[in-house]
Chains A and B, each alone.
Chain A
Amino acid sequence: MAKRNYSPFGPDAKRAVESGLTAAEWYHSEVPRKVMKELMARSDGPAIRDTVILYGSMILLAGIGIALWPSWWSAPFWLAYGVLYGSASDSRWHECGHGTAFRTPWMNTLVYEIASFMIMRNSATWRWSHARHHSETYIVGRDPEIAVMRPPELAKLFLNFFGILDVIRFFPTLIRNALSGPTAAEKTFVPQSEWGKVQRVAIIHLSIYAATLGLALWLGSILPLMVIGLPRMYGAWHHVMTGLLQHGGLADNVVDHRLNSRTVYMNPISRFIYWNMNYHVEHHMFPMVPYHALPRLHEVIKDDLPPPNRSIAEAFAEMWPAIRRQVVNEDYFIKRDLPPTARPYREDFHQYVPGMMRPAAAE
């Protein structure tokens, strides 16, 4: 296969549309309507509890960090604060963007706006990019949220554990958005009616960063930036670690989330930070199911899915060699076996994916 082109204006994007891939119906496991209705039911309780714990912990940790500053004794508190700021905000952004975390709409909106700011995403732009990520998950040129492009650039993956590339990319776009609205690429997935909002959000974010920077200069200390901005870098590692596992090393250009997404059993702290998005196949198949119901959904459909990885370490042991192989062979991917109880992969959907028709080639 020719080298992948991830541009929304490139040949792969065009081919995906022309071949009918973008219009294809995605596979989903059978769940009786009554059960699905119970799973989809919304409530405010779990998300209010988790949000109070999250923001309460952040205030406490930052308070201790400030009190101990500039001693090195403040470091562990900053590290913990950073993970909540620079990683938990990713999952809050995600769940509240779907509108499933809380039952009450304004609560979803409020936490979504706060989380978007912390994770350095324009709340008006990213809502739309994520809609596309769900319609056309890992379809080359169409999905704007592909974390590991092939062939993978390992140096970039490492840099992003500290948010370096994200932040370097974020600020020029923020300034452009604040001056003139969405970029040409953003206009491919943000409807015109929202372009003004993209600009307004960018102006607000930019003003907060300018005020924080101004305060840091006035105080002659980076302390304000330790609270706002920098934790997006020193606390990013957890969301990058879990984010890579979502789709890394798996197939692209398919219409079955069992082939391109990964479910991983995780420890309770990571699940709190990640808001249960470790049930990632389940989330993609049924985005209406709130995060707190995903473990139950997993129990209902697990016999139709590839066996989940049993820990973060085990998932990395599966994914990392595959990513390294993709450096030299970008068509390589892991095709996981389904249990005998599962409905088989629809090979006829996927004839154009090298390796799908010959399991030996994909191992």
Chain B
Amino acid sequence: MPWIDACATEDIDAEDLIRWDHGGQTFAIYHSPEGEFFATAGLCTHEQVHLCDGLVMGHLIECPKHNGQFDYRTGEAKRAPVCVNLRTFPVRVEGGRVLVEVA
């Protein structure tokens, strides 16, 4: 699987996320309060709304449409109305860049 350079670490504030589009897919990349980076599919599993306008609280991302929540580290659906887990992608940081292993 290829590792793709997605953004610089400083592009994402701590406890926040950005949208990243690549190869016809859309992703969400997160910067946790502890300074780690994570990536998930960009669209909520409830109604295909982009998570980039949502709110990161600790390790949760809350969807901007109906306030469903996922743990962005594991993709686990944590709060209704989301029931289906979010896909996650491996991330590594190299020289101030965030790399995502896209499938």
- Please measure, in the bound complex, the distance between the C-alpha atom of A98 and the C-alpha atom of B64, giving whole angstroms: 11
Question: Are the C-beta atoms of B79 and A287 separated by less than 8 Å?
Answer: no
- Give residues of chain A (134-149) contacting chain B, Cβ–Cβ below 8 Å: 134-135
Contact A134 B66 (CB under 8 A): yes
Bitwise interface map of A from 21 to 50 toward B, beta carbon under 8 Å scored 1, else 0: 000000000000000110011100000000
Query: How far is A99 from B67 in the complex, measured between Cα atoms in Å?
Result: 7
Contact A287–B67 (Cβ < 8 Å) = yes
Interface: B4 (CB within 8 A): no
- Chain A residues with CB under 8 Å of B16's CB are 37
Q: Is the CB of A287 within 8 A of B80?
A: no
Instruction: Give the size category of B's interface with A.
Output: 10 to 19
Contact A287 B57 (CB under 8 A): no
Residue A128 is within 8 A (CB to CB) of chain B in the complex: yes
Q: Which of B46, B64, B69, B79 has the most CB of A within 10 A?
A: B64
- Is B81 within 8 A of A288, CB to CB? no
A105 pairs with B79, CB closer than 8 A: yes
User: B65 contacts which of A40, A42, A135, A191 (Cβ < 8 Å)?
Assistant: A135
Please judge, given known A-B contacts A37-B55, A40-B55, A42-B57, whether A288 and B67 are in contact too, CB under 8 Å: yes
Is the beta-carbon distance between B55 and A128 smaller than 8 angstroms?
Answer: no
Interface residues of chain B: helix, strand, loop or mixed (majority): loop
Task: Determine if B47 is an interface residue (Cβ-Cβ < 8 Å).
Answer: yes
Rounded to whole angstroms, the CA-CA distance of A193 and B85 in the bound complex is 14
Which A106-151 residues have a C-beta within 8 angstroms of B?
127-128, 131, 134-135
Instruction: Give the CA-CA distance A134 to B66 in the complex, in Å.
Output: 7
Interchain CB contact under 8 A, A99 and B65:
no
Chain A: residues with Cβ within 8 Å of the partner, total of 21
Q: A37-B16, A135-B47, A288-B54 are in contact. Are A127 and B81 (CB under 8 A)?
A: yes
Distance (whole angstroms) from the CB of B50 to the closest CB of chain A: 10
Question: A124: nearest residue on chain B (CB-CB)?
Answer: B80
* Interface residue B71 (Cβ < 8 Å from any Cβ of A): no
Cα of A286 to Cα of B79 in the assembled complex, Å:
18
Which residues between 260 and 317 of chain A lie within 8 Å of chain B, taking CB atoms? 286-288
**What chain B residues lie within 8 Å of A37 (beta carbons)?**
16, 55
User: Chain A residues near B62 (CB, 8 Å)?
Assistant: 99, 288
Q: Pick the contact of B83 from A36, A98, A193, A286 — CB < 8 Å? A: A193
CB of B80 within 8 A of CB of A288, answer: no
Contact with A along B1-28 (1 / 0, CB 8 A): 0000000000000001000000000000
Contact of A287 among B46, B47, B64, B83 (CB under 8 A): B64
| Chain B residues with CB below 8 A from A286, complex form | 64
CB distance from B45 to the nearest CB of A (A): 12
Q: A127 to chain B: which residues have CB within 8 Å?
A: 80-81
Residue pair A131, B79 in contact (C-beta under 8 Å): no
* A135 contacts across to B, CB distance below 8 A: 47, 65-66
**A287 and B55 contact, CB distance less than 8 A:** no
In the assembled complex, the Cα of A276 lies from the Cα of B80 at a distance in Å of 23
With beta carbons under 8 angstroms apart, the residue of B54, B79, B83 that contacts A191 is B83
Chain A residue contacts of B79, Cβ below 8 A: 99, 105
Q: Which residues of A contact B57 (CB under 8 A)?
A: 42, 103
Inter-chain contact A134/B55, CB cutoff 8 Å: no
Q: Within 8 Å CB of A131, what residues of B?
A: 46, 66, 81
B residues 28-82 in Cβ contact with A at 8 Å: 46-47, 53-55, 57, 62, 64-67, 69, 79-81
Could you list which residues of chain B lie within 8 angstroms of chain A, going by C-beta atoms?
16, 46-47, 53-55, 57, 62, 64-67, 69, 79-81, 83
18 further contact pairs, Cβ within 8 A, besides A41-B55, A99-B62, A191-B83 = A36-B53, A37-B55, A40-B55, A42-B57, A98-B66, A98-B67, A99-B69, A127-B80, A128-B80, A131-B81, A134-B66, A135-B47, A193-B83, A287-B66, A287-B67, A288-B54, A288-B55, A288-B64
Listed from nearest, the 9 A-B pairs whose CB atoms lie closest are A131-B66, A131-B81, A40-B55, A99-B67, A98-B67, A288-B64, A288-B55, A134-B66, A191-B83
